[in-house]
Amino acid sequence: MSSSELIGIWSVDVMYGPGAQSDERIIFTENGSGWLEFLNWDIIQVETFDWSLSSDNKLNIKGNEVYSMFDPTRSNSDLSLKNLTYLVEIKKTPSGKEMKTITFSDSVILNDNEFGLEKPIVESNYLIDRLKMIEDGYKGNE
């Protein structure tokens, strides 16, 4: 397996379509950064991280910062996942659709360890747009 298999926006909800009111996503970019998204009607929280693959192809994720709609300050992430194995494959999902999925050897968000590929490319402004949504959402909650 190669690191290019990880690149993209991976979603729990996309496997169940047509869609729910919430979703958990993990996003991997080509430069070794990524983030987790927790969504419920709107974006609720983003947790950024750096990722790498070891020489034996195990995934390591180290958290950086947490951004939340309910707190204007960034906090440090305590996310630390080491030596995760993963499998990328095309399979039939609960929605009945066949799609590319990724299954991790352990939970990466809440109790989720399986995600469907929502988009194989992460736009360069995607994270900036998400953080702006969080900032705007916080202002609306004041």
- The pLDDT tens digits of the residues spanning 97-134 come to 999 999 999 999 989 999 999 999 999 999 999 898 88
pLDDT tens digit sequence for 25-67: 999 999 999 999 998 876 689 999 999 999 999 999 999 999 9
The alpha carbon torsion through 1, 49, 83, 85 (nearest 10 deg) reads -40
Percent pLDDT > 70 in the chain is 92
**Centroid of chain to Cα 46:** 9
For the chain, the structural domain boundaries read 3-136
**Pairing status of strand 59-68 against strand 42-53:** antiparallel
CATH class of 3-136: mainly beta
| Residue 24: strand pairing partners | 38
pTM: predicted TM-score of the whole model, two decimal places? 0.91
Q: Tokens in use for 99?
A: 């799609």
Q: Tokens in use for 84?
A: 């995760």
Q: What phi and psi values does residue 43 have, to the nearest 5 degrees? A: -75, 130
Query: What contacts 56, CB < 8 A, 6 or more positions away?
Result: none
**CA–CA separation, 4 vs 120, rounded Å?**
10
**Quick check: 142 pLDDT over 70?**
no
Of the two residues 141 and 118, the one the predictor is more confident about is 118
